[in-house]
Amino acid sequence: MDGTLLDSELLKALAWKQTLEEYGINGGDEFYRRNLGNTSIEIANRALKAFSFLASPEEISSKKEENYLKLLKKGTEPINSTVSFLKLMAREKTKIGLASSESKNTIIEQLKFAGVFDFFEIIVSGKNEVERNKPDP
């Protein structure tokens, strides 16, 4: 959904910066940018290897998600062309589904923030609902 529905990559970079700073590590935003396209768990695993600190990938990922949702509530911009397209599809009664590697909670918050949550008939979270998430869904 990043870059498609919401212009949220900056927020994710800031969330990684804040999260890794909690462990005394600077440059989390740049680290995230170098690892863009991977799941939060994979980025957390890479951070543990790169910076050698004590935490679990799940703990780091969870903290990042909390930080991201706080930043999301402060605001980012929905991508108007996508929102317009979804509204058109909803008016046409087209069934719309969404699959994302994010957690279900994050997906729902992003869709609500963009004002399009009610347009989706089904939402699938790669993090919570499938056996294999990115990069091998």
Cis ω on the peptide bond leading into residue 135 (within 30° of 0)?
A: yes
What is the SS3 assignment for 79? coil
pLDDT along the chain (137 residues), means of 10: 80 96 96 92 96 96 93 83 93 92 86 91 89 73
Provide the pLDDT for residue 9: 85
Helices (H), 8-103: 9-21, 28-34, 40-51, 57-74, 80-91
Structure-block tokens of residue 97: 């589904």
Provide the pLDDT for residue 6: 84
Q: What angle do CA 78, 84, 85 make, to 5 degrees?
A: 110
Distance of alpha carbon 57 from alpha carbon 48, whole angstroms: 8
Provide the pLDDT for residue 101: 82
Do residues 17 and 29 lie in contact, with contact meaning Cβ atoms separated by under 8 Å? yes
Q: Give the N- to C-terminal CA distance of the chain in Å, as an integer.
A: 16
Provide the pLDDT for residue 137: 64
Do residues 57 and 46 lie in contact, with contact meaning Cβ atoms separated by under 8 Å? no
Note the pTM of the prediction, 2 decimals: 0.75
